[in-house]
Amino acid sequence: VLPFGWRRAASLEEALAAAAEGALPVAGGTEVVPWLRDGIVAPGELVDLSRLPLDAVTRRSDGGLALGATARLADLAAHPQVRAGVPLLAQAIAAAASPAIRHMSTLAGNLLQRTRCPYFRAGPGVPCNLRAPGTGCPARTGLHRTAAILGLRDDCIAAHPSDPAVALAALEAALVLAGPGGTRAVPVAEDLAEVVGAGELVTAVHLPAPAAGARVRFLKVRDRAAFDFALVSCAVVLPAGGPPRLALGGVAPGPWRCRTAEGELAGRDATPDRVRRAMQAELAAAAPLEANRFKVELAVRLVVRAVREALA
Ligand SMILES: Cc1cc2nc3c(=O)[nH]c(=O)nc-3n(C[C@H](O)[C@H](O)[C@H](O)COP(=O)(O)OP(=O)(O)OC[C@H]3O[C@@H](n4cnc5c(N)ncnc54)[C@H](O)[C@@H]3O)c2cc1C
Ligand code: SF4
């Protein structure tokens, strides 16, 4: 039995006060509940954000959109402004989890989910630096087929599992955080798992105005078609006349912006050969292990295909 307190916040102020006292936020609960069950967290108190009025999609003065942090993934993917204005995000959400989970899951909860590394999710007592710092990283010599190949840390090689985060990175979205120090906005980028400070809550995700005439495509490769986490995913934004924006998922500790490949492609037509060479340059920095070496070529091929489909 794990005793903990629970309170439902009726306002953002109430939620922030609870978070400042150390309460763990819970929104859809599709991550937090398994964490409680598996002993990954043992909070003294939970603060339930699910009834906060933070689930709207609104137009911003610069023409972009503000997506409420507690908006459910299914509602976002079906929202007319998202479908028409941010089809890349709608595609990424459609590829994430199952319909039942998308109906429970919130946008912020999805971005702040933890790795699916089997050691992290195993019971207490299994070594894992992320769960118990200093206990080691058995994935390096053990099960690492789904682990990261880019941006590796010394102590942990886990990949971030969110699909929407990959689309949001390519769209240059920002997380809006409220906390004891006020409000701040940070890009949806590689350090997603560490971006929220103590006592902070995500209130929204801001999207800039869409680039005129941009072609977009999200693709995901997984072991199981029904629903599964990405082995590799990619999001491609090809603005008319502007530099491409490319992001990968399943390969790094967060969504991975392909800055090297983007630089190689800037000012040139994104022909399949050029995209392949640009992605090979991007993946030159990869440090795969034996069982996840396949991700290198898979990432190259997936982006080539996504660009082709975006332009088709
Ligand atoms: C079987 C299964 C398959 C899945 N497959 C996929 C997949 O293919 N792709 C994918 O992207 N995801 C997948 N998921 C993950 C799923 O999308 C996440 O579980 C879900 O999005 C988490 O959202 P939630 O609202 O339930 O989060 P919660 O469980 O409520 O919270 C998750 C984390 O976010 C924090 N949090 C939540 N809201 C806020 C806030 N506003 N401010 C600060 N912190 C906050 C919580 O404290 C917690 O740390 C899968 C999940 C399951 C169970
Ligand atoms: S990769 Fe990270 S989460 Fe997985 S065992 Fe190593 S330290 Fe733990």
DSSP string, the chain: ----EEEE-SSHHHHHHHHHTTPEEESS-TTHHHHHHHTS---SEEEE-TTSS---EEE-TTS-EEEETT-BHHHHHH-HHHHHH-HHHHHHHHTSS-HHHHHH-BHHHHHTPPP--HHHHSPTTS--TTTSTTS--GGGTS--TTS--SS--SS--PPP--SHHHHHHHTT-EEEEEETTEEEEEES-TTGGG-SPTT-EEEEEEEPPPPTT-EEEEEEE-S-SSS---SEEEEEEE-TTS--EEEEESSSSS-EE-HHHHHHHTTS---HHHHHHHHHHHHTT----GGGTHHHHHHHHHHHHHHHHHH-
Cβ of 71 below 6 Å from ligand 1: no
| pLDDT digits 0-9 by tens, 260-309 | 999 999 999 999 999 999 999 999 999 999 999 999 999 999 999 999 99
Ligand closest to Cα of 134 equals 2
Q: What pLDDT is recorded for position 123? A: 81
31 lines ligand 1 (CB under 6 A): yes
Give the pLDDT score at 242.
Answer: 86
Phi, psi angle pair for 250, to nearest 5°:
80, 5
* Contact yes or no for 281/264 (Cβ under 8 A): yes
Who's near 162: CB < 8 A, 6+ residues apart?
A: 96, 110, 111, 113, 192, 249, 255
| pLDDT at position 225 | 87
Residue 157 CA, ligand 2 centroid: distance in Å:
6
Nearest atom (ligand 1) to Cα of 112: 34
Pull the structure tokens for residue 160.
């971030």
- 120 alpha carbon to ligand 2 midpoint, in Å? 6
Closest atom, ligand 2, to C-alpha of 117: 4
Q: Is 69 in the pocket of ligand 1 (CB under 6 A)?
A: yes
Taking the C-alpha atoms of residue 56 and residue 79, their distance in angstroms, rounded to an integer, is 10
Question: Distance from the CA of 116 to the center of ligand 2, in angstroms?
Answer: 9
pTM strictly above 0.95: yes
What is the 4 CA–ligand 1 centroid distance (Å)?
A: 20
Nearest to 102 by CA among 79, 84, 129: 79
- CB of 104 closer than 6 A to ligand 1? yes
Give the residue, out of 38, 75, 103, 110, with the most ligand 1 atoms within 8 A of its beta carbon, to mutate for a pocket test. 110
Where the chain has pLDDT below 50, the residues are none
